[in-house]
């Protein structure tokens, strides 16, 4: 189950900065020589900006190892939680660690902010968090200022909260089992940020397993069926699979395959599942307890899109997909020598 985290009483207490380049491009690493100074209003603004993107993220764990060098972020974080006065020195080491992992041509340089957050409420208890954010893209903004009795318009570039590219929030909770961690990477390169830099792994609970299997079902419908299968048929397959997740408390692979109700379809799914697990590294158990909230979310996210060469685009909701067999017809007009779709409805909604 997910762990509820509350940021309402959270406040940034100290902050270190760095500029992290890409070693392949001979870009430098620069770290701050002192912690940043800020007043209460600035602290409130920074807290809101930094924590905004960490809501409703997948739960991860940051675990220690017998060899500290194999997961240095755990060691640096532990040192900061033990003695907050270590933030500046430990942040320098964190920036060095990130710099050393940035040996890939696609990794952009960026500004790094490492802050200690107090008052994070997790399972009813207030604790600390280490917030690491990296902004790789600066946003231009205009500022009107006064100079010599007149007004001037200047253009500056800065970090926009909604445009922060990467984030890692480590919460001082369950250290012995692995600190609670929330991560995001808007570039989609989670292997670099989650695995190479943070060394964090997803918590394989019922939420995680249900979410991954729901994604697998939708991916199978889009990519695992023969090209000649129509879009509404693909969505019907995904819909039946997601209905199974919503209608059962326990997942059993053998029972699930029966819902596909076609030996050829079952074989195609088996091959796709094996390929999915190999490519993503997400091994999925054959039996597990299903998460009702995640199953509902998966069903709501199920949509289909049909793009036609005439420029028309149709989007199918999960509610339509469940009834597509009765509401949609395909045909071929001999006179026009073109395919057509016929959709039945009672009334048009605004």
Encoded tokens for 49: 């900006």
- Give CA–CA dist 260/89, Å, rounded: 57
pLDDT score at 316: 76
Predicted TM-score (pTM) of the model is 0.80
Question: How do residues 77-92 score in pLDDT, each as one tens digit?
Answer: 999 999 999 999 999 9
pLDDT score at 347: 84
- Mean pLDDT, residues 280-306: 85
Out of 72-76, 79-83, 274-278, pick the least confident: 274-278
Q: Average pLDDT over the chain, rounded to whole? A: 89
- Give CA–CA dist 260/269, Å, rounded: 9
Higher pLDDT, 20 or 328: 20
As beta bridge partners, residue 183 has 168
Residue 53 has pLDDT above 80, yes or no: yes
pLDDT score at 126: 96
């Amino acid at each position: 189950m997910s762990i509820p985290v509350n940021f309402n009483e959270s406040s940034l207490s100290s902050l270190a900065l760095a500029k992290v380049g890409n070693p392949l491009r001979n870009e430098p690493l620069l770290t701050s020589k002192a912690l940043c100074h800020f007043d209460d209003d600035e602290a409130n603004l920074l807290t809101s900006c930094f924590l905004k993107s960490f809501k409703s993220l997948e739960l991860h764990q940051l675990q220690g190892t017998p060899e500290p060098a194999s997961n240095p972020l755990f060691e640096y974080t532990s040192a900061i939680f033990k003695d907050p006065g270590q933030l500046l020195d430990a942040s320098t080491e964190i920036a060095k660690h990130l710099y050393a992992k940035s040996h890939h041509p696609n990794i952009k340089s960026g500004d790094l902010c490492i802050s200690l957050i107090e008052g994070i409420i997790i399972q009813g208890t207030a604790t600390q968090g280490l917030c690491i954010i990296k902004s790789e893209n600066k946003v231009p903004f205009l500022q009107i200022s006064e100079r010599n009795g007149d007004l001037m318009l200047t253009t500056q570039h800065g970090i926009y909260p909604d445009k922060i590219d990467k984030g890692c929030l480590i919460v001082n909770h369950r250290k012995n089992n692995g600190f609670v961690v929330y991560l995001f990477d808007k570039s989609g390169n989670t292997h670099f940020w989650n695995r190479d830099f943070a060394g964090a792994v997803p918590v394989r609970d019922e939420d995680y397993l249900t979410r991954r299997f729901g994604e697998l079902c939708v991916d199978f419908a889009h990519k695992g069926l023969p090209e000649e299968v129509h879009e509404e048929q693909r969505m019907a397959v995904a819909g039946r699979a997601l209905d199974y997740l919503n209608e059962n408390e326990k997942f059993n692979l053998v029972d699930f395959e029966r819902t596909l109700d076609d030996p050829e379809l079952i074989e195609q799914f088996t091959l796709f599942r094996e390929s999915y697990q190999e490519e993503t590294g997400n091994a999925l158990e054959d039996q597990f307890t299903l998460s009702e909230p995640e199953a509902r979310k998966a069903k709501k996210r199920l949509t289909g899109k049909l793009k036609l060469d005439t420029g028309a685009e149709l989007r199918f909701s999960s509610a339509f997909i469940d009834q597509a067999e009765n509401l949609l017809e395909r045909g071929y007009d001999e006179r026009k020598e073109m395919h057509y779709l016929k959709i039945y409805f009672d009334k048009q909604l605004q």
